[in-house]
Structure 1
Amino acid sequence: MELVLIGTAYMAGLVTSSLYFPPLVGYLIAGYVLHALGVHPDNTLAHLADIGIQLLLFTVGLKLKLRSLLRREVLSVGGMHLLIVTAVSVAIFFALGGYVSGGLVLGVSLAFSSTVLAIKVLDDNGELSTMYGRDVLSILILQDIVAIGLLAFTSGKQPTPWALGLLLLPLFRPLMYRLLNASHADELKLLLGVSLALAGGMLAEQVGISNDIGALLMGVTLAGHVKTDELSDKLWGLKETFLVAFFLQIGLTDLPGYDEVLQALLLLALLPLQGGLFFALFLVVGLRARTAFISSLALMTYSEFALITSSAVIDAHLLPPVWEAIIGLAVALSLAVAAPLNRFSHRIFSFLEPFLTRFERKVNHPDRLPSSIGIAEWLVIGMGRTGLSAYQAFCQQDKRVLGLDADPTVLEALLADGRRVVYGDAEDNALWEKLPLSKVKGVILAMPEFDVRASSIMQLKTRRFQGHIGSICFQEDEEAKLYGLGASFVVNPLIEAGRQLAEQMLDGNPQFTLEALPNQGC
């Protein structure tokens, strides 16, 4: 039976991913197919699904940073969106004749966006560390916290007086930190993360609280350690594997009928309104149209948490069981639509830009593009290790250099060190259109993504930039393509590192010279 479940999920996920849809859609379809063939889930599948949810909430806890949630964009946009969608949903359920409590929980659930899809899209595009990427991630975490509260509300469990003991978990933080520091091997980090998540779930169950809450609290306790991002990355694949069981279970529960399909399609038709609401709220807090559009598109989905909370609501008899099939299908369809839209989000905005930019507010905000570069004659785009090294080399030669980067944390650190840097996203066409280049002698492109470097060169050539264009490359085929687009010179950092190592070693050993080495393969 296990082979049938896993094999079917894999084949369905393979087909959907080859069509540029999230594999999650395939897992739900696999569940529907297996149900139609007469396959019924057993307790093992439910247990694996429960572990997947605990791991999911544990990783959410690891990323929970209070400072990031208290920012204006997160509280105002995320909070107002939740309130508006919830109010509308409750009104609709009340008008349809009842289930107000269930409608309240379901309405909030439908305001959640897919954490898995949004993070994957931003990570694939190299935008997770950008200003809007961090805003999206923080809003998703805020939604996850609200989802945890809903699970606690709908679980129906009465906590015992010992539940207050969970507040003492931070006392064990030094021990947990020590265990994580001692876990040098990757597999030990993975085992520690799973153990802590399950331990939190077990402790919570013992005091009458949902095990999901316990897993989250355990993650929050460990949050703040320097290795939590590494631990979260280790758990990502395992968590996704266990969540396959959850999505299969949804599909195996029941096949949606004609009425359920119509209601799921109706929910899907409401998604553009949800995206439009996000866009409007982002504009209100001062973001530019491009930033607001890309962020809204990443959030314009229904969340996996909607499946979890709707299941809990149905178990608590606040909604009829038919809603589980409706929500499952609506989530799958929303992900199927959102995946290709996010894949081409920048192209879509370029097409809509003349219309959408009319709604921008003219206010001061860190998202604003630089209107001046001062007396800078050299620009370094992308202030990572390579870009910072180039910046320092210019400074040592007393050149007038300015650095640009889209990561606000990088900018804060560099500004604190006295560097001349400003915010600038190289993927934003408006940056290249407004950047004053008349006095600039050269631009160095040190961004890690090839597509961004290539589009930047094309933008500079479109502006008829006459200065030098330098770029890094990491693959053999990238060098010729970048030269073909108009780069003045292209450097592979790894090749240059090997060459410098050899030169420095020879400089330190006078008995060897490059000419004295045998010409074998050189």
Structure 2
Amino acid sequence: MFEVVCITFAFFFGLAVRQIGLPPMVGFLGAGFAVNLVGFELGLPDEAHDILKHVSHLGVLLLMFAVGLKLKLSQVAQPQVLGGGLLHFAVTTAVLSGGLVLITGLVPATALMLAVALSFSSTVFSAKILESKRDLGTFYGRTTIGVLIVQDLIALIVLAIWAGQTPNLWALGVFALPLLRPILHKLLDFTGHDELLVLMGMMLALVLGGMGFQAMGLSSEIGALVMGLMLSSHPRAKELSESLWGLKEIFLVGFFLQIGMSGLPGWSDLAWALAFLALLPAKGVLFFFILILFRLRARSAFLAAVSLSAYSEFGLIVAARALPEWLVPLALTVSLSFVLAAPFNHAAQAIYDRLEPWLQRFDPRRVHRDELPTNLGNAQVMVLGMGRTGSAAYDSLLAVTDRVVGIDADTYRVQAMRAEGRNALFADVEDAAFWRALDCSSLRAVILAMDNLEAKEAAARAMRRKGYEGPIISHALYESHLDRLKAAGATHTYLTMSQAGRGLADHAARAIGLDALPDAPDEPHSEVETTSA
């Protein structure tokens, strides 16, 4: 009965909020409150809370492992990450705790712990938002995740001090972990591509990272993150992350249900939650100016600040251990912050575009080294997105011209491409400043090889606004995407899977001595060339 109630409520609540433009996670939070209200009358067992707590913990571990797979160790050590995270925590804790004591008359110790709990941003929420937007590898996305990791470490230190616990002697084994990296890389090479790959990911995230670090008196979440970091440089790190995607998403549903089931709020809980929500914009504004202080451009600082403007699940962990009487109002605060932050995050780029003339006045004179402007040189073909598809297109074009340039928003990927001899540059195609500075007079073709459909549309429209009249070629995963790409300005589109199937059929025909397959006919109703099976 447990799974019947939880899955049914989660599905229909998630489906309902999706119809009004909110992400399903908001519906899962509402489903948690609904299950708490009527679930036990429907036969939910008494141990439902413990079951959901265990399921949600597995989801968080898998999420942290997936985040680790996409990070580099040097990322957390960057000034804007370490300094920004620590400075924001210090200012927020000092100002908020003092304000709570003066305005509400709370006991200083209680006010301090509430301020600490509210100073953190949600790792689960931000990571899922960035992942859904495919922005984890962008400069602002990596900055956001780095700040979240710093905050999580602070939270773990606070909890350890509050509980009076310290790591045991076995924690010294952490210093030997780098010696395991070659072994883990070899193990991943031998694992293959089937269910063993999934099991290896779960073993590293839940067993070695989760249980292993917990046995040493350390955080299981940090353990899962570290296991991911140790494999982040492996060529199959992305494949491993994708193999765990479905499991991670299912387990994280339990996380959001658990937050909603923390307790039913009363009027006083709602009043506190609304008061804390009123402070949420200040949280984002403080992040914005702190990141500007570390020489991030206004756009990167704004997008990162929006991503960090949601209260954290770690605040609930702090409350559960240190302030149990505040758990329900904080759970309501976290839930409502997700509801408010979700639409702002999805519309963050559009909001920035509207505010850009005002926000640009805060641009530092000397920008961060990872945000230097891009010059295309004499390139004739520009490939936007240098993942597997984009890099394959780039390499194939070298057979006919060496005037090719690849553009990607992931600075680490760009560095790897340059090390391999490719002409790759860093830029975010959704950054209006990139398009304003772009000189496309020498370009003869543009290839859209990004995964994100909205990014492709934005790039195509930007090229047309620049006055570029040449061909824009794009692939699409679904037929429903083709019309949107054409409307944005693409001249040549094709369905990825259909084209792959035609390629296989063409090889088969040649292998048995038949003529090559004829090209697919153009669509009679369209003025653009569209290739599909």
TM-score, structure 1 normalization: 0.83
* Counterpart in the other structure of 2:290: 281
Equivalent residues of 2:59, 2:250 under 8 A apart:
no
CA distance in 2, matches of 1:352, 1:30: 35
Aligned to 2:408: 405
Structure 2 equivalent of residue 18 of structure 1: 19
Task: Provide the residue aligned with 1:433 in structure 2.
Answer: 436
Kept in 1, the 8 Å contact 2:55–2:255? The answer is no
Partner of 1:77: 84
Query: For residues 234 and 362 of structure 1, do their structure 2 counterparts lie closer, same or farther at Cα, with a shift above 3 Å needed?
Result: same
Determine whether 1:464 maps to 2:452.
no
Root-mean-square deviation (CA, aligned residues, Å) is 3.6
Are residues 1:254 and 2:263 paired? yes
The share of aligned pairs that are identical, in percent, is 35
CA offset at residue 273 of structure 1? Answer: 0.6
**What is the SS of the residue equivalent to 1:336?**
helix
For 1:188 and 1:444, how far apart are their aligned partners in 2?
Answer: 36
User: 1:145, 1:92 → 2: CA distance?
Assistant: 25
Per the alignment, do residues 367 and 34 of structure 1 end up closer, same or farther by CA in structure 2, a change over 3 Å counting?
same
Residue 338 (str. 1) matches residue 341 (str. 2): yes
Superposition deviation, residue 236 in structure 1: 5.3
Query: 1:25-424 residue pairs with structure 2 within 5 A?
Result: 25-37=26-38, 39=40, 42-53=46-57, 56-57=60-61, 59-60=63-64, 63=68, 65-95=72-102, 96-155=104-163, 164=171, 167=174, 170=177, 184=192, 187-191=195-199, 197=206, 209=217, 213-214=219-220, 216-217=222-223, 220-221=226-227, 223-225=229-231, 226=234, 233=242, 235=244, 237-238=246-247, 241-242=250-251, 244-245=253-254, 247-315=256-324, 321=325, 323-368=326-371, 370=373, 372-424=375-427
Q: Report which stretch shifted further, 342-351 or 150-159.
A: 150-159
Structure 2 length normalisation: TM-score?
0.81
Q: Which residue of 2 aligns with 1:443?
A: 446
Deviation string 1:430-452 (CA, Å, 9 cap, x unpaired) is 22222112333333332233332
> Given the superposition, is the C-alpha separation of residues 448 and 38 from structure 1 closer, same or farther in structure 2, using an over 3 Å criterion?
closer
More displaced 10-residue stretch of structure 1: 91-100 or 177-186: 177-186
| Residue deviations 1:471-513 (CA, integer Å, cap 9, x gap) | 333433444554454434335555555555555566666x533
Rounded to whole Å, the distance in 2 between the matches of 1:192 and 1:392 is 32
- Give the aligned residue type for 1:449: N
Query: Is the Cα contact below 8 Å between 1:60 and 1:141 reproduced in 2?
Result: no
Shift of 1:360: 0.7
Gaps of 5+ in 2: 519-532
Gaps of 5+ in 1: 316-320, 517-521
Three-state SS of the structure 1 residue aligned to 2:407 is strand
Superimposed CA distance per residue, residues 254-275 of structure 1 (whole angstroms, 9 cap, x where no aligned partner): 3322222111111111111111
Secondary structure, in 3 states, of the residue corresponding to 2:323? helix
Cα–Cα, structure 1 residues 149 and 54, in superposed 2: closer, same or farther, change >3 Å? farther
338-347 vs 252-261, which moves further: 252-261
Supply the AA of the counterpart residue of 1:88.
Answer: V
Aligned length: 506
- How far the C-alpha of 1:215 sits from its partner, in A, is 5.8
Q: Deviations over 1:283-342 (max 9, x none)?
A: 222222222212211111112222222112125xxxxx1x11111111111100111111
- CA-CA distance at 1:280 after TM superposition: 1.1
Structure 1 residues 81 and 166, CA gap change in structure 2 (3 angstroms): same
Instruction: Tell me how far apart the structure 2 counterparts of residues 98 and 481 of structure 1 sit (CA, whole Å).
Output: 55
| 1:89-124 CA-partner distances (Å, limit 9, x unpaired) | 332344344543443343233222222222222222
Given that 2:303 and 2:348 are in contact with CA atoms closer than 8 Å, whether structure 1 keeps it comes out as yes
Distance 1:137 1:233, change over 3 A: farther
Alpha carbons of 1:26 and 1:154: their partners in 2 closer, same or farther (altered >3 Å)? farther
Secondary structure of 2:230 counterpart: coil
CA contact 2:212–2:223 (8 Å) conserved in 1: no
One-letter code aligned to 1:106: L
| Correspondence 1:487-506 to 2 at 5 A | 487-501=490-504
Query: Alpha-carbon deviations, 1:135-155, whole Å to 9, x = none?
Result: 222222222222222333334
Cα pair distance change 1:215/1:424, threshold 3 Å: closer
Cα distance change of structure 1 residues 172 and 34 upon mapping to structure 2, 3 Å threshold: same
Distance apart, 1:470 and its partner CA: 3.1
Partner secondary structure for residue 256 of structure 1:
coil
- Structure 2 Cα separation of the partners of residues 244 and 495 of structure 1: 33
Q: Secondary structure at the match of 1:379?
A: strand
Tell me how far apart the structure 2 counterparts of residues 480 and 515 of structure 1 sit (CA, whole Å).
26
Deviates more, 1:397-406 or 1:31-40: 31-40
8 Å CA contact retained: 2:407, 2:424: yes
Q: Is the CA contact 1:54–1:215 (under 8 Å) kept in the aligned structure 2?
A: no
- Is the contact between residue 58 and residue 218 of structure 1 (CA under 8 Å) also seen in structure 2? yes
Aligned counterparts of 1:353 and 1:123: Cα–Cα separation in 2: 24
- Aligned-partner Cα distance in 1 for 2:346–2:244: 25
Q: Secondary structure at the match of 1:128?
A: coil
**In structure 1, distance between residues paired with 2:457 and 2:227:** 43
Distance 1:375 1:204 in 2: 52
Give the counterpart of 1:512 among 511, 514, 530: 514
CA distance in 1, matches of 2:466, 2:515: 46
Inter-partner Cα distance in structure 1 for 2:251 and 2:116: 25
Report which stretch shifted further, 462-471 or 490-499: 490-499
Q: Give the letter aligned to residue 79 of structure 1.
A: L
Q: Is the 8 A contact 1:51 1:198 kept in 2?
A: no
SS of the residue aligned with 1:471?
Answer: strand
CA distance in 1, matches of 2:209, 2:396: 50
User: 1:202 Cα shift?
Assistant: 5.9
Aligned residues of 1:445 and 1:470 also touching (Cα < 8 A):
yes
Structure 2 residue matching 1:422: 3-state secondary structure: strand
SS in 2 for 1:224: helix
User: What CA distance in whole angstroms lies between the structure 1 residues aligned with 2:414 and 2:95?
Assistant: 40
